[in-house]
A and B are shown apart, each in its own frame.
Chain A
Amino acid sequence: MEKTGIKKKKLRRNTKRMRRIKRSSGLFIAPSFLGVLVFFLIPFAVVVFYSLVDNPISKNFVELDNFKYILENNAFKRAMTNTFKFSVVAVPLAVLLSLLLAILLDTKLPFRSQFRTFFLSPMMVPVASIVLIWQVLFSYNGAVNEVLLNFGVDKIDWLKSEYAQVVIVVLFLWKNLGYNMILFMAALASIPKDIIEVARLESANSLQIFFYIKLRYLSSTFMFVTIMSLINSFKVFREIYLLTTDYPFETIYMLQHFMNNTFRNLDYQKLSSAAVLMSMIMVVIIGILFLVENYFGKDVEG
């Protein structure tokens, strides 16, 4: 009986304490929550609302008509396809190449520090300058074509032909490899050395150490770098826009071109439905990434 009484007392005290903790944490989190509410949740709700009405003035509910419309719209389909193609090619390349660079710079390479700075330098260059450099290189009368002419190759309109997406992928990699590389280098440095030493003592070779130990420890960084690269792949619109304006050659017409143009044309319904669709796709992709990360990284976490 007595024991039960003490238990109840403890429980009551705990509950009281818990409530107090909850209240104070609620207060601490309130500003952030308010920010998220005002700047993310409410606009999100507005976007969903716009995607379900005929126009922002009459606001007649049209069910899923806007979604049906954009799914049949050639410009949207082209933008989706291009963005998907770009992400599928550029994101894995950005992750793998930066990992390779990180591994390379993790070895005792001469001029390591200089190489690291070199790869990081594109991060410091403003977008306008990057665009200028790319224009100088890849315009019809640009440096690349001048070089190619010397080898007897005809001029290529890099940004207004099928090669346009290749140019943008190169630009994306040039700009993002450095940052990803630093993240991987930090993750590599944080892998416990004793585990690797034990593996070496157990006669594991470098490949085995990489695949069975390092890769497991890198899984959360992999996840982070992939998501960041994915987000950055959507942001490449900024460079494309500055290079080729709002209506570029069809292969580099991205989803955000569609959104930007529809916003300028005040087509909020198209814009909103496209945004909602895009968010759903993003949720699915990131969900898959979480599952993958959970599968590969569970041992490390556990």
Chain B
Amino acid sequence: MKSLWKKFLALGLAGVLTVSMAACGGKDVTDGTQGGTSAGTQGEEALPEYVYVPEYHTLAKDENGWINNPTFVDGKLYYSAYSFNEETGESKEYYAYRDINDLDTENEMLVEFSLEGKETSMNNCVMDNAGNTYSLWYTYPVYVEGEEYDYDDYSYYLVKHDSTGAEVFAQDLKDVFVDENNSYLQYMTVTEEGKLFASSGNLFYVFNADGTFDKTIPTDADWIQNMVVTEDGKLLYTYYGMQGVEVGEIDTKTGAKGASYKNMPDMNGKMKSAGNGKLLICGMSKLYEYDMATQESTELLAWLDCNVDGSYIQDFEVMDDGRIVVYYDNYSASPEVTILTKTPSSEVVQKQIVTLATLYDGDSNLQQAAVAFNKSSDKYQIKMKSYIDVNAEWTETTYADGLALMNADIISKNAPDIIMLNYTDIQGLASKGAFVDLTPYLEKSTIANKNDFVESVLNAYNFNGVQVTVPAAFNINTLMAKSKYVGNEPGWTLEDVMVLAKEYPDAQLMQYVTKASALQMCLQYNSNSFIDYETGTCSFDSPEFVRVLEFANSFPKEYNYDDESSFPAMIQSGQVLLADVYLSDVQNYQMYRLMMEEEAISIGYPTVDGSAGIYLNSYEMYGIAASSDCIDGAWAFIESTLAKNENNDMHRWNFPSRKDELEEMFAEAMKVDYQYDENGEIMYDEEGNALQWPKTTWGYDDWQAEIYAATQEEIDEIKEMIALAKPQGNGDQTIFTMIMEEAESYFAGQKSAQDVAKVIQSRVEIYVSENS
């Protein structure tokens, strides 16, 4: 009896052991959050001894001007600049500097170069320690109307000016360039001995101190990205190698190539010598110190903590007094110099930390939004948690692993406050109650109110009454076709597509269409038509699906790209019937309309129910984790990303989700740019139509079109597309992958369509049952 009791005790333990198989999986979830920093815990963390306090200086420049080659040298910012006066039509190219302690004053330097009968343009300019400047100039003939223009009559000049601005030498480099592929000098640096190293492609051109050409030094790089000379006379240059960014070394005295340095941290191109065999590397999100001996890097600071957008840093310097000075220009707003001063944490007012989860913290839109918010908020500070370590070796599973880790964090109590949703299965996570409903916040907000957003976009992310997110921008994917093929109403079925294909047997349905892409097109919006999630069943073994497979099989396996004319020519001649289009602005749509040359319509991808399958691809989406301890702070950030963008410097390549911004975009697209005569009167053609200037020119393959102001009809069509657009669920991708995997054997002629359909049915039904 006693023995039996012991056995049952062992039996109980065996049961526990079995269950622990599942529990171990759960342990991974908690493991993944050990480095998590939610607002609640962050506040309890010990403060660092020092922080860098930023001081911002916007550099005024005229609207049409720009600053090039900014370089910090000994507390001064040197740069070449271009300015254009619209009223006088005069332009000026010059070299200047600003002192870090007086950034408002621009000190123009006398670096001028002219050649009779030639136009000149400064390419690059560097300074040596004695204040001499070395500039590279591109020269080309002046265009004279009526005279033949000699395109080959161009050259480069290397010009040296002393500190007073007097020209020391001007060396014509035309004969130096023997290799046409390497005839553009991009980067330049000068050594203590006055030797100049200029890079072009994968070559270094070396010039003596008197400007004479010395030699070329070939490198293993595809393209030299950046260079720096260390105090011991080594020229270090960066390039993209087999392991991401690598650094090569050249002895500036002998020209001999030295070691190459790997394991570089994520960098945006800029590096500086920090002495003692160390380099300062400017990363997209952090500043690193790289030890050349150990080839290891150490994180010095996160740019976001200093309210600096790391993705657009053009140059930086650590000054002798320990301050870090950063030049930032995102090419849309005025450039900025930020001076970071090391300050004891106790002297700085602490803001509440709001953690934002993202796969990659170097995303420039995200950095820009976070920095803007941090600068404007005196209560909250955004801190990012990146789930992909950009400094680790990128493997096949890096992305999936990062995503899995982020999902695990979201579903556990350790989720950060804000989650960037661009890459996640929003609907799946929403069904698990992972997000805060934004509706009450949107209803209350005066700057990002529910009514401010395009309804269809808003509704696309409302799941069972929970408004998970509001994308700031979006674009759409659709199929366009001439009306004579598909009629005038959007929406069609798979049967309609098959009928169209049969009606025009000599034409291709779409360009580059293969068996796989045809199946993809048929399923784009239809995989769910064969699925009933309610009952957990599907019907991929039905005759309808077998017909879809047979239809896809009627296309070639591979596309022959050789005997191909341009896409516009093919669509215009009727060789191709459908255009797979990606629309992100009005002019984009106008271009496709013009390309069709006839009445055309956005018919959408075919669906089983005949509705228009138009995709909504959304960007800049943020949700608040249900477990957040700082929902108000998280909302404050989201609200700031959704507020009206007065500068119009965000979402540049997409439609904005805000109605007012979208309407502004439409109004701008419809605004006619008339041609005026010398009296300021609108000019008319012979038929009495007002003459317009084209707003832009779009090209596609060998075809070009001038785009004029959009018509109301075109705007209405875009609005209709937006109203019909829906996002594609992430879950569908799993089903789609399974279908494509199995269909391969049918396309290869190994199995019948029925056999393949049976296997698809078997596999997909399990997936559907699991998720029903």
Name A residues whose Cβ lies closer than 8 Å to a Cβ of B.
36, 39-41, 43-44, 46-48, 50, 54-58, 73-75, 78, 140-141, 155, 157, 160-161, 227, 247-250, 253, 256-259, 261-268, 271-272, 274-276, 278-280, 282-283, 286-287, 290, 294, 301
Contacts and interface: CB of A to CB of B under 8 A. Distances in A.
Nearest to B412: A56
Question: Lowest 10 A-B CB distances belong to which pairs?
Answer: A43-B23, A275-B22, A75-B769, A283-B15, A74-B769, A279-B19, A75-B770, A250-B762, A266-B411, A279-B18
A290 B8 contact: yes
A22 to B, nearest CB: 17
A57 B413 contact: yes
Given A265-B428, A282-B14, A44 B20 contact: yes
B144 interface: no
B766 A58 contact: no
A41 B407 CA distance: 26
Interface string B401-419: 0001001100111000000
A157 B14 contact: no
Given A78-B769, A275-B19, A283 B750 contact: no
Q: Which of the listed residues A155, A257, A275 has the most CB atoms from chain B within 10 Å of its own CB?
A: A275
B543 to A, nearest CB: 21
B25 A259 contact: yes
A283 B755 contact: no
Chain A contact residues, majority secondary structure: helix
A40 B16 contact: yes
Given A57-B413, A58-B433, A73 B23 contact: no
Contacts of B750: 140-141, 155
Contacts of B433: 54-55, 57-58
B745 interface: yes
Contacts of B408: 266
Contact of B759 (A46, A47, A249): A249
Contacts of B762: 160, 249-250
A278 B18 contact: yes
B626 interface: yes
Contact of B766 (A40, A47, A78, A259): A78
Nearest to A259: B22
A155 B749 CA distance: 13
Interface in B717-768: 734, 738, 742, 745, 750-751, 755, 759, 762-767
Contacts of A227: 14
Given A47-B22, A47-B23, A275-B22, A41 B16 contact: yes
Contacts of A278: 18-19
Nearest to A274: B22
A267 B7 CA distance: 34
25 contacts: A36-B13, A39-B24, A44-B23, A47-B19, A47-B23, A55-B432, A56-B432, A58-B433, A73-B769, A74-B536, A74-B769, A247-B763, A247-B766, A247-B767, A249-B762, A259-B22, A261-B767, A261-B770, A266-B428, A272-B22, A275-B23, A279-B15, A283-B15, A290-B11, A301-B3
Given A249-B762, A283-B14, A47 B26 contact: yes
Nearest to A47: B23
Interface in B20-69: 20-27
Q: Which of the listed residues B432, B626, B750 has the most CB atoms from chain A within 10 Å of its own CB?
A: B432
A203 B15 CA distance: 46
B429 interface: yes
B19 A276 contact: yes
B188 interface: no
Given A40-B17, A275-B23, 18 more contacts: A36-B13, A40-B16, A43-B19, A43-B26, A56-B432, A57-B627, A140-B745, A157-B751, A249-B759, A261-B770, A265-B770, A266-B407, A266-B428, A267-B432, A272-B22, A275-B19, A286-B15, A294-B3
A44 B11 contact: no
Contacts of A74: 536-537, 765, 769, 772
A266 B734 CA distance: 15
B12 interface: yes
Nearest to A58: B433
Contact of A157 (B7, B23, B759): B759
A47 B20 CA distance: 8
B4 interface: yes
B456 interface: no
A224 to B, nearest CB: 12
A36 B14 CA distance: 12
Nearest to B23: A43
Contacts of B697: none
Contacts of B23: 40, 43-44, 46-47, 275
B434 interface: yes
A40 B20 contact: yes
B704 interface: no
A106 to B, nearest CB: 29
A143 to B, nearest CB: 16
Given A75-B766, A264-B404, A43 B7 contact: no
A160 B759 contact: yes
A48 B715 CA distance: 57
Contacts of B738: 247
B771 interface: yes
Given A57-B626, A278-B18, A271 B25 contact: yes
B432 A262 contact: no
A282 B18 contact: yes
Interface in B414-442: 428-429, 432-434
Given A44-B20, A58-B433, A253 B766 contact: yes
A223 B201 CA distance: 73
Contacts of A267: 432
Contacts of A48: 19
Nearest to A74: B769
B374 to A, nearest CB: 28
A72 to B, nearest CB: 9
A264 B429 CA distance: 12
A301 B4 CA distance: 12
B72 to A, nearest CB: 48
Contacts of A264: 404
A299 to B, nearest CB: 14
Contacts of B404: 264
A263 B20 contact: no
Contacts of A57: 411, 413, 432-434, 626-627
Given A47-B23, A275-B23, A287-B11, A265 B766 contact: no
